[in-house]
Amino acid sequence: MREALVKDWMTYGVITVTPETTLPTAHRMMTENEVRRLPVTDESGKLVGIVTLSDIRSVETSPSTSLSMWELNYLLSRMTVGEIMARDPVTITASASIGKAALTMLEHKISGLPVVDDEGLLTGIITESDIFSMVVLHEWKAHELDEAEEEHEPLPGVTIEVTNE
């Protein structure tokens, strides 16, 4: 399973943002699409950074300042992804193995890797969740366990007769 390739397990249609996208817009995109990270690309589709839900939440939950709620909200609404994104994100290629992708995530303490081609253009993304689902469904056959659970009938009682011969 670890020899499976990234290209067979990655998500191809990645939701992305640009450095000019505002934080509230990025946050809403993550919520609506149920993703935890958004690769950041420039006009040519080249990967320039990555922003995670954690990053945005850290900014939103800042310690209280002398600013009023209105002032704080105004400032937050104008902040852009470019100001908080991680530049030069760790990436992987589509031809790499899942094992390599997993090890890379672990080593860098991240849970998602943008997939790029030789020119640095974003082609997809692979996450810890993808690998988890893949291993559990295909290697551990979770769906078979589910089916077994559903088909299982209670065992009939067994009566043993003891006779004296």
Partner 1 sequence: MKNELVREWMTADVITVTPDITLPEADRLIVDNMIRRLPVIKNGKLVGICTYGDIREARPSPATSLSIWELNYLLSQLTMGEIMTANPVTISPEVTIGEAARLMLKNQISGLPVVDNHHHLVGIITESDIFRLVVQQWENMEESPEPYVRYR
- Measured CA to CA, the distance from residue 94 to residue 127 in angstroms comes to 13
| Phi, then psi, of 11 in degrees rounded to 5 | -90, 130
**Nearest alpha carbon to residue 15 among 47, 43, 36, 39:** 39
Pick between residue 31 and residue 95 the one whose CB is nearest to partner 1. 31
Number of chain residues interacting with partner 1 (CB under 8 A) = 33
**Nearest alpha carbon to residue 38 among 16, 57, 60, 54:** 16
The token pair that represents 41 in the structure block: 């690309």
The token pair that represents 160 in the structure block: 């043993």
Shortest gap between Cβ of 118 and partner 1 (angstroms)?
A: 26
Per CB under 8 A, which region of 18-26, 104-112, 116-124, 157-165 contacts partner 1? 104-112
Q: How many angstroms from the chain centroid is the CA of residue 75?
A: 28
Binder of partner 1 out of 87, 137, 138, 147 (CB under 8 A): 137
Residues 19-78 within binding reach of partner 1 (CB under 8 A)? 31, 37, 52-55, 57-58, 61, 69
Sites of contact with partner 1 (CB under 8 A): 2, 31, 37, 52-55, 57-58, 61, 69, 86, 99, 102-103, 105-106, 109-111, 128-129, 131-133, 135-137, 139-140, 142, 145-146
